[in-house]
Structure 1
């Protein structure tokens, strides 16, 4: 699992295993957000297993499954609220971390803290391709 810090409240990653989840409190995380739909690929732990692992580790857990083209404004708002109201730093994950960062980046654009023409560089600086976020903004008239 590769963890990419986004800011002081949020980091994103690819799929953590149970050992990585168990180590999260020691790394300072308070909340794990799972942005993967169950059954996305074979061998994926799934939300029930992640919820059990986070509970055992003493972490909070949110399953907010999204797929790039079908992300809604409600998904973006729920993600942002979860990050902002968490009792400490948040690790959000999907298969690669891109969807999790996309949710955050879209929330930043919608809140006026990031311009859409900054998205490509914002993603590139963190090792991600945010072209899907630009397509989302185009499709939703933003």
Structure 2
């Protein structure tokens, strides 16, 4: 789990054990940016939803293949905006890259500076230099 800002974490594929640490960090929303059946052995959305519920989190599936679409960015922004003060969100995909891109595109919809977003992403280990923001 890598921090992009005070309220947003990203990660590669998560497992049940990862949700304990996320819950301790006050994560209340779990967003799955993987496409269904993207990889053999990947947990199903139903399984992920059950794990999130067990950890006291809301679960959203916003599938992203490649660069996030405008719709995916809007839905990601809505998920981020659903947080109450002090709550956090954890977004995941296979490596965390698509989730980071979706976060950056959502923040741009809010008016955030593209260079600042790229710097935040790079600090977390994700290079968004080729993402059109």
TM range (shorter): 0.7 to 0.9
Q: Which runs of 5+ in 2 are unaligned?
A: none
Aligned to 1:126: 124
Greater fraction helix:
1
TM-score normalised by the chain length of structure 2: 0.86
3-state SS of 1:6 partner: strand
In the TM superposition, structure 1's runs of 4+ consecutive aligned residues that sit over 4 Å from their partners are: 117-120
Q: Matched residues in 2 for 1:68 and 1:92: separation?
A: 16
Q: Matched residues in 2 for 1:65 and 1:39: separation?
A: 11
Aligned to 1:64: 62
Change (3 A) 1:77 1:23: same
2:6 equivalent to 1:8: yes
TM-score normalised by the chain length of structure 1: 0.81
Which structure 2 residues correspond to residues 40-51 of structure 1 after superposition, within 5 A?
Answer: 40-51=38-49
Q: Which runs of 5+ in 1 are unaligned?
A: 138-142
Q: Deviations over 1:25-72 (max 9, x none)?
A: 223211110100111111111211100111112211111111124x32
Q: Matched residues in 2 for 1:98 and 1:112: separation?
A: 21
* Correspondent of 1:54 among 29, 52, 55: 52
**Is the 8 Å Cα contact of residues 105 and 133 (structure 1) preserved in structure 2?**
no
* Correspondent of 2:78 among 69, 77, 81: 81
Q: CA deviation at 1:16?
A: 0.7
Aligned to 1:35: 33
Q: Larger radius of gyration, structure 1 or 2?
A: 1
Q: CA deviation at 1:107?
A: 2.0
